[in-house]
Amino acid sequence: MKNYIKHLSLAAVAATLTVSARAEAISDAGNGDLVLGIYATAGTGNGNTLQVNLGEFTRFAKFDGSTVTISELALADLNNFGASGAFARSTVSWGVIGYSGTSTYTSTGTGLKTTRNTLFATSTGSLNSGSLNAQSGAAPTIAGLYGTLVNGTATGNSSSSMYVTSDSFSWAGQQIAGAPLDFGYFTSTVTSTADVASLSLYELLPSNATNATYTETGITAADKGVPRLLGNFNLASNGTLTFTNAGTAIPEPSTYAAIAGSVILGVVAYRRRRAVKA
């Protein structure tokens, strides 16, 4: 699965709330985690694949409009594909994929759960919106991708990242073996990048998932079998990767306090004016 990249203004990114997050080690990769893949088909970095463990999908399914800074991707690793990540090169490809596993998955961080065989991807061109059994076809390849991370050696720049030169389960390996589909489920598209590259992240529950198998935030029966937008990954030319959750931003408690304070002051002022008139 390569990316559908769209331009995004820096102003739009800056307008969201930014929150730092802890790094996820490659040795901890497994069901429920999202994996970022970057590779070059020509030029600087050709033949190498950078794979990054981004941690549990629930980190990217908050629906509060918040923005998380992805600390797992190191600028030094990104620059191995060229200065500033070589945004202008159509031969550098990006994508994110994940899988909940073959049984109902429960998040260790939030306790939320989602049904088995749920897929996560930054491309929707050929997402299979079929039954639990149909979507289970992605299990071997994505499980192999997790295995590549667990058994790999982290780069010297990030404990969450590793380089792969040749592996059938690697990002590049699956691109080649599954052509024209990536991991057997997604449409490959090589798109040039610009100052900011944006990847839309989707979640796909099997069409016959039972309501009892998920408590994840925002899921309804209408979401089954339909790609659900979780948010957008935004990669700036300085190498900073962020994720903006879908939905309307929820004000911080301090914001509510400020609003309440303003209301109280307004009421006091109003009463004083009425007292003076009386």
pLDDT at 55: 94
Q: What is the pLDDT at residue 86?
A: 59
Q: How confident is the model at residue 136 (pLDDT cuts 50, 70, 90)?
A: confident
Same domain, 234 and 260: no
The rounded radius of gyration (Å) of the Cα atoms in the chain is 21
Q: Are residues 213 and 278 in the same domain?
A: no
Q: Which residue has the higher pLDDT, 1 or 122?
A: 122
pTM above 0.95, yes or no: no
* pLDDT the model gives residue 33: 95
- Evaluate whether 175 touches 189 at the Cβ level (below 8 Å): no
Regarding whether 175 and 59 lie in a shared domain, the answer is: yes
The CA-based diameter of the chain, rounded to the nearest angstrom, is 85
Domain interval for residue 271: 251-278
Most confident of 29-38, 136-145, 175-184, 235-244: 29-38
Given this model, what pLDDT does residue 187 score?
61
Do 183 and 57 fall into the same domain? yes
Model pLDDT for residues 119-133, shown as the tens digit of each residue: 888 876 555 567 777
Runs of H (alpha helix) within 160-252? 171-177
* Same domain membership, residue 258 and residue 238: no
Q: Is the pLDDT of residue 272 over 90?
A: no
Q: Say if residue 191 is in the same domain as residue 99.
A: yes
The count of structural domains within the chain is: 2
- Tens-place pLDDT, residues 27-58: 999 999 999 988 888 888 888 889 999 999 98
Q: Are residues 11 and 122 in the same domain?
A: yes
- Structure tokens, 28: 């901890």
Q: Which of 260, 241, 242, 243 is nearest to 251 (CA)?
A: 260
Query: What CA–CA distances, in Å, run from 81 to 51, 175, 195, 197?
Result: 13, 18, 15, 15
Residue 10 in this model has a pLDDT that exceeds 80: no
Q: Specify whether 168 is located in the same domain as 191.
A: yes
Query: With bands split at pLDDT 50, 70 and 90, how would you rate the model's confidence at 159?
Result: very high
Q: Are residues 143 and 276 in the same domain?
A: no
Model confidence pLDDT, tens digit, residues 205-252: 888 888 888 888 888 888 888 888 999 988 887 888 899 999 854 444
What is the pLDDT averaged over residues 166-185? 75
Asked if residue 262 has pLDDT above 60, the reply is no
Average pLDDT of the residues of the chain: 75
The pLDDT-based confidence of 69 (bands split at 50, 70, 90) is very high
- Specify whether 209 is located in the same domain as 268: no
Q: Dump the DSSP string for 128-145.
A: ----HHHHGGGHHHHHHH
Determine what percent of the chain is predicted with pLDDT higher than 70.
69
Residues 136 and 273 occupy one common structural domain: no
State pLDDT tens for residues 101-121.
988 999 988 888 898 889 888
pLDDT in tens, 74-103: 989 988 887 655 555 677 777 888 999 988
Asked if 186 and 121 touch (Cβ cutoff 8 Å), the reply is yes
Claim to verify: residue 72 and residue 120 sit in the same structural domain: yes
Residue 45: CB atoms within 10 Å: 23
